[in-house]
Structure 1
Amino acid sequence: MKFIANIIYKRPWLVLIALLVTTILLGTGVTKLKTKNNQDSELPKDDPIVKTNDYLEEVFGKKDVLIVGIETENIFNKKTLNKIINISKEIETVEGVIGDEITSLSTINNIQGKDWGLDVGPLMEEVPASKQEIWELRKEVFSNELVIGRLVSKDAKFTSIIANLNEDYDQTIVYNQISEIIKKYEGDEKFYLAGAPINSHEIDTGIQDDVNLLLPLGLLLVLIGYFISFRSAKGVILPFVVVILSIIWTMGLMGHIGFSITVVSSVLPMLMIAISSSYGIHVLHRYYEEILTSENRKAAARETVKKIGPAVLMTGITSAIGSATLIIFKVTSIQEFGIITSLGIISTLLVSILLIPAILSLSKKKGEKKTRKNREALLNKFLLWVAKVSLKYRVRILIGTLLLFVISGIGISKIRVGNDFVKYFPKEHVLRSTFEKFNDKLGGVRTMDIMIEAKEANMIKDPEFLKKIAGFQKFAESQPGIGYSSSFSDIIKRMNLQMNDADPRYNTIPDSKNTIAQYLLLYSMSGDPGDFGDLIDYDYQRAKVKLFLTTSEQEEHIQLYKTFETYVNENFKGEANIEFGGEVMFWLAQIRYIVNGKIQNIFLAILIVLIFCMIVLRSMSLGFLSIVPLTVSSILTFGFMGFLGIRLETGTAIITAIGIGIGIDFAIHYLLRFKEEMMIDSNLERATETTILTSGKAIIYDVVSNILGFIVFVFSGFLPIQYFGWLISLTMITVAFGSLVLFPSLLGIFKPKSLFQQKGQQEEKNIEAIKEEAPQKVIKKTMALSEESN
């Protein structure tokens, strides 16, 4: 640090110019940032679920869908039926929609038996002209199991229009065009929009709304925090400039690397506000100490870099390592977040250690003025009280902490996992209400796909095989949380029913393979065999059963998967290979990675931080001591999550790494300062008081600034980010407690040899002089820390 300190002392302008050029170069990366909300790329390519979904797409095709829900008192009226026809036609013109793959009451194929064979045609080509015709249409709908409960609700109050989309559709164009269409038909009916482009639009809009609200709010709150802490222009402006540059550097790096903005990484600008505030406060606070004994500002700036620089560098590296441990997660958005946060922390510490001293060294006069000393005196009294209590009641504090551990353990046992993008949004959000409506009226929109691959081609046409598929569907639909199922067997059952005068006894799979072959031939004469392409492959060797779920609870999804896996393994053993895929299975796979990654992340982060602190502090005992506040904080936070029912998912999974990364700053700053004081005066009480009055005060300012930075997340439009704000704020408070209260207690109980066997580095007379003035001189020094102004 001496080299950097001397450069700042001799050539501060050169340092500032270098920072400016770097900012401009990195800032260009901001223009390259893009938003990503495609969940498909979140898991490793070699994940079994990813492979299965890829295989399903290869066999049956991949088509995102746009869904329009229509609700009214009774859809079977001329006005509503006319709107269904017109909207279906207009959706064909939406850019990105496959025009001949729209399913609605006016387009769905209705299979009917005729004297000459099977007639396949639209269920409703035009609006019925009379009440009798409307009644006949209603009767036909309610007798068709492929329509009722799937396309039309059983209470006849809700129906949907489903449009398949091209692979290269533009979600913004689709959303805007469908919104314009719906506006034209608003009236007595209520419309609901769902599907991939709608989901993506809501996520993109939420991310942009968050940035527009939280970033300026975060900046405003930290400005207030700086003013409360320093009460001076420089105390407000300098760390604020550090914040701005840190955000530019971090987001610019993100753009240059090619990472996209996700729901998780959308917190980065606000996160950098809190992190950069921390480093800026420690540098500025130390400068205010040094200016009291230095001949001028340049000398004070040089001494600041020399003395606080190593601590800032060490805490920065440790924090970056803590965040980097997120790469152990096999979830792409979390991995990218860990990488860019680590780079952002390194950027922040460089800006803090270079910019603030360089600017301060260019000032020509001290310009000191009196400020509100009463506030400082009150804080000093509080900190001295904390020091005395921590030492006097050290054993009780340790016992109390252990008791909190036990209580938190109970809370941890209650933690639930779950990661459903719909639950990213508050309950009152339109997307939540839309999903609930589809769950209630049409059996859900969440899907689980089961691919049944027979041993040889044409085996799917075998009656016994189809009966087993139908049997599985019946079993699946009997399970709580399943709305309905869809498969090729449903089509065959409909054909058999219609070819036997709609006799309910024939709503089954026929016994003859030849009969099935004849039905398919008859269908091809009036319809298109390609209609079954999303349920059966060309060789009739692979069939897909699509299950629609009404539950969003991950625990129920897991139980359903296990139940179905047991069933198909028992009933298709030796006849077919079974693979599970679809949206629900994707989320279950992601949760598995989050849970496993979280466990590994906690241990890895703490282990790496432990080793690093042992090296930095040159003591094994101090290394273990340094991770105590982090461990306590992590346990308390997870216990809190369990008691409040906050799930472990993508947003909350990053808390530990961020908490450890920031929290270790407090520990290192405290221990290094305590070690410095013990080298001068090996008296526990005086060293504790001095440390708390200096580094402890900086920690208090740091916590206030961090919480002001993090608390803005509670105003996010995404629930995981709101929880992140509350929990990371709680983490800051508990880490500060560990550093300011638990540290002194533990040091007083265990008295590490690396600290308590040192006799000081000064002559005895200097030591005695220091003993006489401590902590009075420290109080005088700290009273003056806020007197610095322009």
Structure 2
Amino acid sequence: ERGAVLSPSFLNTIDQFTAELEAIDGVGKVQTITPYVKRMNYIMNRENEPYKQVVQEDISFDFFGGAFGFDDSFGFEEEIAVESVSATWDPNTYKEIPTDPAKYGFETDEELQNMIVQYLLLFSGNLDNFINDDLEPDATLLTIQLKRSNTEILREVTAKIDSFWGSELSNGWHYSVGGGEAIALALTDLVTKSQIYSLIGAMVIVWVLVSLIFRSPVAGLLGTIPVLFALMGIFSFMVILKINLDIITSLLAALAIGIGVDYAIHFLAALQRHNNLDKIEKSLQQVMNTTGKAIVINAASVILGFIGLIFSRFMPIKQLGILFCVSMLFAGLSSLTVLPMVTIMLKPKFIYGDRKKEGPKENHIPNKRRIAP
């Protein structure tokens, strides 16, 4: 309904919302139309005795006489000199949103709303930043200033907005949250959800591919070990260094998956090639002396190559260099420590066959009978 924004009850609700929102740590000022209404209400009524019945010959407001009359020297831009009057009430009682009709000599809320409309007509400033019409506004804008911007504060503010207006607004009213910070929060949620879905999908694809390569679902699970440790290292250092999850850092997770599964495939393939030794420990030692050294050299060379990005002054590039080095380190170390340990514990058939059921083979010389001539 047009003009409902200026109803005393709705303006009082905005005032309550402002007080609750400004109580949140990290929220500065909330700019609304209510301070202007309070200021004009105080100026227009500070000499009037509250709850005094006013007899009016004309119900309509007179802009040029009575309580709403102005002389040439009156203005809201400068302080008005007012003669002292003897009164038994506090003029500051009018620094409020008028919600009590009897206090102002009225009988209904509609009369209070008409009085507020007259205030806005007399106001010489511009209120376009708060309402869409001076006489019958049906929309109002509330601007929230934040002392600091981070995801926690944005979520708390958004939750407060949803909980307050979700219960206060009646049918036919609706609200929306906008601005740069709201877009940033929506983008963060979108990146986070996309990251979760992409990581789960990529891990499933890695498991399927490694399982097909080695023809064993156990091999697929083993192939995800370096990937999981690489991701764990990336997200752990993001928390330690307070690096936000954004579009750039989210791309690193995909790179970590490719790096981790590469080391796992090399190690498992080498272990499968050297499974002809009598003891598993000897087979593992042979793999460490060959493929293990190659993994160490590869990881070290890539880390040294990306260390140069750490000295960049462009923060996203610097963060990318740090996290990439961390992912390479965790993927390489887990491939040479955790993956062999799990392999020894499980003794998977796709590498050792049924050898875990057999004991070590003993060298023996077959008996030969000597045939006499």
TM-score, normalized by length of structure 2?
A: 0.69
Letter paired with 2:128: G
Q: Does 1:519 align with 2:119?
A: yes
Task: Confirm whether residue 534 of structure 1 aligns to residue 134 of structure 2.
Answer: no
Q: 1:471 aligns with which of 9, 16, 33?
A: 16
Q: Percent identity?
A: 28
Partner of 1:487: 32
CA contact (8 A) 1:646 1:723 kept: no
Give the AA of the match of 1:659: A
State the one-letter code of the partner of 1:587: A
- The match for 1:738 among 327, 334, 338 is 334
Going from structure 1 to structure 2, the CA distance change for 1:668 and 1:495 (only over 3 Å counts) comes to: same
Secondary structure at the counterpart of residue 145 of structure 2: strand
1:715 equivalent in structure 2: 311
1:482 partner amino acid:
V
Note the alpha carbon deviations across 1:129-151, whole angstroms, 9 max, x for none: xxxxxxxxxxxxxxxxxxxxxxx
Q: After TM superposition, list the pairs within 5 Å mapping 1:689-708 onto structure 2.
A: 689-708=285-304
What does residue range 327-342 of structure 1 map to in structure 2 within 5 Å? none
Q: State the Cα distance separating 1:664 from its structure 2 match.
A: 1.3
Q: 2:181 and 2:12 mapped to 1: Cα distance?
A: 26
Gap change, CA 1:471 and 1:698, over 3 Å in 2: same
Residue type matched to 1:487 in 2?
Answer: T
Separation (CA, whole Å) in 1 of partners of 2:338 and 2:113: 77
Given that 1:481 and 1:549 are in contact with CA atoms closer than 8 Å, whether structure 2 keeps it comes out as: yes
1:274-285 equivalences in 2 (<5 Å):
none
- Flag structure 2 segments of 5+ consecutive residues without an equivalent: 47-79, 81-90, 100-111, 356-373
Which residue in the other structure is 1:115 paired with? Answer: none
Name the structure 1 match of 2:265: 668
| Cα 1:739–1:476 shift into 2, 3 Å | closer
2:121 counterpart letter in structure 1? L
- Secondary structure of the structure 2 residue equivalent to 1:699: helix
The runs of 5 or more residues in structure 1 that have no matched partner are 1-455, 760-790
| Alpha carbons 1:536, 1:543 under 8 Å: kept | yes
Q: Match for residue 63 of structure 2?
A: none
Matched ranges for 1:76-91 at <5 A: none
> What are the residue-to-residue correspondences of 1:233-252 with 2, within 5 Å?
none
Deviations 1:75-129 (A, max 9, x none): xxxxxxxxxxxxxxxxxxxxxxxxxxxxxxxxxxxxxxxxxxxxxxxxxxxxxxx
Q: Distance in 2 between matches of 1:673 and 1:506?
A: 85
Report matched runs for 1:3-152 at 5 Å: none
Distance 2:278 2:208 in 1: 26
User: Amino acid of the residue matched to residue 717 of structure 1?
Assistant: R
1:533 is paired with a residue whose SS is coil
The 5-angstrom pairing of residues 274-673 of structure 1 reads: 456-500=1-45, 504-510=92-98, 512-523=112-123, 531-538=126-133, 540-574=137-171, 576-642=173-239, 644=240, 646-650=242-246, 651-673=248-270
- Contact persistence 1:670–1:691 (CA under 8 A): yes
Contact 2:227 2:259 in 1 (8 A): no
SS in 2 for 1:581: coil
Q: 1:755 aligns with which of 351, 358, 372?
A: 351
Contact map agreement 1:666 1:736 (CA 8 A) in 2: yes
**1:708 offset after TM fit, Å?**
1.5
Contact 1:682 1:758 in 2 (8 A): no
Change (3 A) 1:613 1:520: same
Specify which structure has the higher proportion of strand. Answer: 1
CA change 1:477–1:637 in 2 (3 A) is: closer
- Against the structure 1 CA distance between its residues 469 and 757, is the aligned structure 2 distance closer, same or farther, given a 3 Å change threshold? closer
Paired residues in the alignment total 298
CA RMSD of aligned residues (A): 3.0
Higher helix fraction (1 or 2): 1
Distance 1:467 1:744, change over 3 A: closer
Q: CA deviation at 1:699?
A: 1.5
Q: Which amino acid aligns with 2:165?
A: V
Give the Cα separation in 1 of the matches to 2:249 and 2:338: 26
Looking at structure 1, the residues matched to 166 and 345 of structure 2 have their Cα atoms a distance apart, in angstroms, of 60
| Letter of the 1:563 counterpart | K
| 2:226 and 2:331 in contact (8 A); partners too | yes
1:36 corresponding residue in structure 2? none
Separation in structure 1 between the aligned mates of residue 343 and residue 113 of structure 2, nearest angstrom: 82
Larger Rg: 2
Q: C-alpha separation between the residues in 2 aligned to 1:485 and 1:544?
A: 10
Contact 2:229 2:331 survives alignment (8 Å)? yes
Secondary structure, counterpart of 1:544 in structure 2: coil
Q: TM-score, normalised by structure 1?
A: 0.35
Residues 676 and 682 (structure 1 numbering): CA distance in 2 closer, same or farther, change over 3 Å?
Answer: farther
CA shift at 1:612, angstroms?
A: 1.0
SS of the residue corresponding to residue 662 of structure 1 reads: helix
Q: Compared with structure 1, are the counterparts of its residues 493 and 739 closer, same or farther at alpha carbon in structure 2 (3 Å cutoff)?
A: same
The Cα offsets for residues 41-86 of structure 1, whole Å up to 9 and x where unpaired, read as: xxxxxxxxxxxxxxxxxxxxxxxxxxxxxxxxxxxxxxxxxxxxxx
Q: CA 1:480/1:632 → structure 2, altered by over 3 Å: closer, same or farther? A: closer
